[in-house]
Amino acid sequence: MQARSLIAISAILMFTGVAAGAFGAHGLKQMLSADMLAIWQTAVTYQMVHGLGMLALGIMLQQQDNTLLRKAAWAMLAGVIIFSGSLYALALTGIRILGAVTPIGGVAFLAGWAMLAWAAIRR
């Protein structure tokens, strides 16, 4: 993933994260239980945090091309899609089995942060 693409994707993730947060706070408040709203908010929080992480990776890639940083970005993007995506779906549908997929996204997040740490140590 190129630095420019990564920065654009991170901005889109943060834009949609803000929109999802507002939608949860205003549009879904009357439709979902408190538990489901909390799940929705967790998805938003992790999407935003990892959007910022991906922004940092994009800025770092502008300074130095690094395969490990690129892999970290892909891992974080996969984490957002799987972790936050499964939580959004769970909150909207109430289908609890969707929560079984969530830890896979969490592992992708961990892998992304570990690769970033390793890239920094090796530098």
pLDDT score recorded for residue 44:
99
pLDDT score recorded for residue 15:
99
For 96, other C-beta atoms within 10 Å of its C-beta total: 8
The domain locations on the chain are 3-122
Structure tokens at 72: 């970290």
Structure tokens at 43: 């998805």
61-93 pLDDT, tens digit per residue, is 999 999 999 999 999 999 999 999 999 999 999
pLDDT score recorded for residue 123:
74
44-63 pLDDT, tens digit per residue, is 999 999 999 999 999 999 99
- Residue 23, Cα to own-chain centre: how many angstroms? 17
Q: Predicted confidence band at 1 (pLDDT cuts at 50, 70, 90)?
A: confident
Q: Model pTM greater than 0.75?
A: yes
